[in-house]
Amino acid sequence: MPPDAPAVTALRRIAFLLELAQEPTYRVRAFRRAADLVSAITADELDRRIREGSLQQLPGIGAVTALAITEAQRGEAPIYLRRLESTEGRAVADDAAVLRGALRGDCHTHSDWSDGGSSILEMAEAARSLGHEYVALTDHSPRLTVARGLSAERLGQQLEDVERLNAGLAPFRILTGIEVDINEDGSLDQEDGLLDSLDIVVASVHSFLRMPREQMTERMITAVANPRTDVLGHCTGRIVAGRGRPESEFDADAVFEACRRFDVAVEINSRPERLDPPKRLLRLAVEAGCRFAIDTDAHAPGQLGWQIRGCERAAACGVAADSVINTLSATNLTTRQRSAH
Ligand SMILES: [Zn+2]
Ligand SMILES: [Zn+2]
């Protein structure tokens, strides 16, 4: 079955929209698995099974996916897909829409090399389909073992992979990168030479989040002052969903002043459970004269569409488009980061 068969396209689009709507992973996975399955059988077998009504005998195809496949192969838009499409086009504030329109890429995403759910190629193709010119691949660093952080050796392999993929994706570009852990002492959890070779370095605190205020401030400033850091990821570490997690305590004036001074972009993290930094801090960063990166921190293709949430928050807090680094072209962005390294 060619990978662009109507049923395959429809099933992948459904999965994408479910992720965008934050539906549980198992539901999304059912559609992605069905798409893989359909692409693995011949066009003849698919036609025969649709005629005989025997699609559901295939493992992993249920009533809902079978109906969507049948409708798509008939040349109709599946009802399931139409329902999802109709809720997607919700109105957003004009400023946020303008800001979103100015974004050319995403500076913080994960693949299945660390704790993401999809391949690098699938993430890149989804980013391209959103109109992006580039996506930075920023998998985790070694110490974050729960997220299968990449050793120096694996990161080296990933860089080779990205180079190969980029040859086929041009003019679209996967920017090389990392979400590097900020160690307890403010140092970065990866070899300097490797960090130097990357297009984008997002530095984030993932451990010892409850450290005393003075120490946390010093830790973050040390990381921001590191010439290899380009973006300060989800600065408070708060989680606003479920049982949640409170913000880390630090001197925000001092940290944002360091970001301005060392030209490190403050990330506006679009993940619905993070929404980090909170608006009061985001306004503070705007007043401090910081630059920003409006990122999704996507761990799956559909999550790449969450960027509009970050744009809404940015617009509400007065972030100007020309202070957002991912409104730059890939070339301008990487030359800018390079000269800083
Ligand atoms: Zn993170
Ligand atoms: Zn991340």
Tell how far the Cα of 280 is from the centroid of ligand 2, in angstroms.
22
| Residue 304: predicted pLDDT | 97
Q: Which ligand is nearest to the CA of 299?
A: 2
Tell how far the Cα of 224 is from the centroid of ligand 1, in angstroms.
16
pLDDT digits (tens, 9 = 90+) for 148-160: 999 999 999 999 9
pTM score above 0.85 = no
Tell how far the Cα of 298 is from the centroid of ligand 2, in angstroms.
7
Show the DSSP H helices in the chain as ranges: 6-20, 25-40, 43-52, 63-73, 79-88, 94-102, 120-129, 152-169, 192-197, 213-225, 252-261, 279-287, 307-316, 330-340
- Whether 63 shows a pLDDT value over 90: the answer reads no
pLDDT digits (tens, 9 = 90+) for 74-104: 999 888 888 777 656 443 466 788 899 899 9
Q: What is the mean pLDDT of residues 119-141?
A: 97
Specify the DSSP class assigned to residue 182.
Answer: B
Q: What is the mean pLDDT of residues 184-198?
A: 97
Q: What is the mean pLDDT of residues 297-309?
A: 96
Specify the DSSP class assigned to residue 280.
Answer: H
Tell how far the Cα of 113 is from the centroid of ligand 2, in angstroms.
13
Tell how far the Cα of 108 is from the centroid of ligand 2, in angstroms.
6
**What proportion of the chain, given as a percentage, has pLDDT over 90?**
79
- Whether 191 shows a pLDDT value over 70: the answer reads yes
Look at residues 243, 241, 307, 303 and name the one whose alpha carbon lies nearest to residue 270.
307
| Residue 201: predicted pLDDT | 98
- Whether 112 shows a pLDDT value over 70: the answer reads yes
Q: Using 50, 70 and 90 to split pLDDT, how confident is the model at 64?
A: confident
| Residue 196: predicted pLDDT | 96
Q: What is the mean pLDDT of residues 139-164?
A: 96
| Residue 91: predicted pLDDT | 39
Q: Which ligand is nearest to the CA of 114?
A: 2
Strand order in the sheet with 231-232: 105-109, 134-137, 173-181, 200-204, 231-232, 265-269, 292-295
Strand partners, 268: 294
- Whether 22 shows a pLDDT value over 80: the answer reads no
| Residue 337: predicted pLDDT | 67
Tell how far the Cα of 233 is from the centroid of ligand 2, in angstroms.
8
Q: Which ligand is nearest to the CA of 137?
A: 2
**What proportion of the chain, given as a percentage, has pLDDT over 70?**
95
| Residue 4: predicted pLDDT | 74
Tell how far the Cα of 170 is from the centroid of ligand 2, in angstroms.
25
| Residue 315: predicted pLDDT | 87
Hey, what are 135's tokens?
């996506």
- Which one is predicted more confidently, 338 or 284? 284
Tell how far the Cα of 136 is from the centroid of ligand 2, in angstroms.
11
Q: Which ligand is nearest to the CA of 303?
A: 2
Tell how far the Cα of 171 is from the centroid of ligand 2, in angstroms.
25
| Residue 89: predicted pLDDT | 42
- Whether 335 shows a pLDDT value over 90: the answer reads no
Q: How many CA atoms lie within 13 A of 290 on its CB side?
A: 32
| Residue 1: predicted pLDDT | 60
Q: Using 50, 70 and 90 to split pLDDT, how confident is the model at 38?
A: very high
